[in-house]
Chains A and B, each alone.
Chain A
Amino acid sequence: MESIIETAFFIGKGVWLTLSLFVMSFILSWFLGSIMAISLHYKKMIKPIKIFISIFRGTPLILQLSFFYFVIPRFLFFRPSLFWASSFALALNGSAYVTEILRSGLESLPIGQFEAIKSLYIPRFYAWKDLILPQVIRNVFPSITNYSVALIKETSLISILGGMDITRLFQVISARDFTYFVPLCIAGSYYYILVILIEFFSDKIGKKFYVEH
C-alpha cells in the first residue's frame, strides 16, 4: 500500500508539466488558428496557409517535436528549453487543426449575418469580437472539446525527448521497481482525471455560450 502511494506521488510530480504544456499550447494554437482562419476568410495568404496546414497535418507530431527541439535551436542565438520548444511545436501542430475547425464554423454562419454587420456599419474588429467569433465558437464547441482532449494526451510525446511529464515519470519508476501494472494504472488515472476535468469545464462554458436558434 505504501509503495502505491509513493508511486502515485512520484508520478504526480509530472502533472504540472503535462498541464502547463497543455494550457500553453492550447492558448497558442487558438491564437494562431484564429489568425489563420480570419485570414482565410478574407481570402488573404491562402496558399501559404494551405501549405502550412498540409505539412503539419501530414507529418507525425513526434518528428515535429524533434525538429523544434533539435534542429530549430541551431539557427537561433539561444537554446529554448524543452518546455518552450515543445509548446511551440504542439501549438503549431494544433493551430493547423484549429484553423480547420474555425473555418467550418465560419462557413456555417449565414452570409446574411456578414451582410447585416456591414449594413449596420459595425467596425471590423468589434464585429469579429462580439458578433462573429461568439457565434462561431458556439457552433464548433463540441470540436473544441474533442481537440482539447486529444491535445492533453498528445503532450505525453515529450517524454521521448526527456520531459519529466506523467508518462516519463511512469517509465522511470517502472524501470526502477521492475513493475508495470500499478504505475501504468496510476499514470492512466492522472490523464483520465485531467480529461474528465476538461470535459466538465467545457460543458459548463458550453452551456453559457449556448443559445437556441
Chain B
Amino acid sequence: MLNINSISKTFNNKKILDNFSLSITKQGIYGLKGESGVGKTTLLKMIQNLEAIDSGTIEVGVKTSFMFQDFQLFPHFTVLENVIYASKFCFRSSKEECLYKAKKILQDLDLLDKISEYPHRLSGGQKQRVAFARAIMIGAKLILCDEPTSGLDFESKENLKKILFSFLNGESRVSFFIVSHDLEFLFSVCSETFLLKKPD
C-alpha cells in the first residue's frame, strides 16, 4: 500500500530525513511519532506529493488524501458543498448519487444538522469530521492525518477514535497514517507505530 525507500531531504542546509524507509502492506491504522521538528509533517506531505523529495522513492498503491492540522476547509462553501465539491471530478456518478452518498457519510459523522452551515460556525471537532467526510467522498483509501488530536478535548478525542475505527472496519475500508506526538492516542489506535529520529 505504501513503500518508502531510503528517502532524504534537506531543508536550508539542514538534513531532516536521512535514508528513511518504511513499508505498509496491510490495511490498518499506523502512527508516526518523533520529537517536534524532525520532519514528521514533511514526510507526510512528501507522501501526498506536496513536498519534493531530494533522493529515494515513495510508492503509493492507493488513493491518498491529506488531513491538515487546521483542516483547510473552503470558507466560502457550506459543509455539504465542501464535502461534495471535489468528488465531482473523481467519479462519473450522478448528482443524486453524490448527494445521497455525502448525506450518508455526514449522517454517520453526526453532522446532518450542519450541512448548510459555513465552516466558521463549526467547532474544531466538527471541522475535522467535515474534513474526514471530504476525504472519504473522493474515495481515498489512505488518509494522512497531521496532528489530528491537537486542539481536541478528551471527549472529542474519544469520538475521533470511534470515527477512525468505523472507517477502518466500515464499507469504505480506509487506512490511516497518523502523525502525532500524542503517544497515548497513538498507542490506543495504531496497530503499528513508527519512530522518526533526528539524523546524526
Contacts and interface: CB of A to CB of B under 8 A. Distances in A.
**Do A and B interact with each other, yes or no?**
yes
Contact of A126 (B64, B74, B89): B89
Contact of A138 (B50, B76, B89): B76
Query: What is the predominant secondary structure among interface residues of chain B facing chain A?
Result: loop
A162 B100 CA distance: 63
A122 B86 contact: yes
B138 interface: yes
B112 to A, nearest CB: 22
B76 A119 contact: no
A123 B72 CA distance: 17
Contact of A122 (B49, B68, B89): B89
B85 A119 contact: no
B56 to A, nearest CB: 21
Please tell me the size bucket of the interface on B: 20 to 34
B120 interface: yes
B90 A121 contact: yes
Interface string A103-134: 00000001011011011111100100011001
A210 to B, nearest CB: 9
B153 interface: no
B178 to A, nearest CB: 16
Interface string B141-166: 00000000000000000000000000
Interface string B22-48: 000000000000000000000001001
A212 interface: yes
Contacts of A213: 75, 120
Interface residues of A, number: 21
Contacts of A112: 68, 70, 72
Given A119-B64, A121-B138, 4 more contacts: A113-B72, A119-B50, A122-B86, A211-B75
A135 interface: yes
Contacts of B72: 110, 112-113, 115-116
A211 B120 CA distance: 9
Given A112-B68, A131-B74, A212-B118, A118 B138 contact: no
Contacts of A209: 76
A121 B120 CA distance: 24
Interface of B: 45, 48-50, 64-66, 68, 70, 72, 74-76, 85-86, 89-90, 118, 120, 134-135, 138
Contacts of B65: 119-120
A-B CB proximity, top 3 nearest: A120-B86, A119-B66, A116-B72
A121 B76 contact: no
A192 to B, nearest CB: 33
A120 B138 contact: yes
B138 A134 contact: no
15 contacts: A112-B70, A113-B72, A115-B48, A115-B68, A118-B50, A119-B64, A119-B65, A120-B138, A121-B90, A126-B89, A131-B74, A135-B74, A135-B75, A211-B75, A213-B120
Contact of B120 (A110, A134, A135, A212): A212
Given A119-B48, A121-B90, A130 B85 contact: yes
A211 B66 CA distance: 25
Contacts of B45: 115
B61 to A, nearest CB: 16
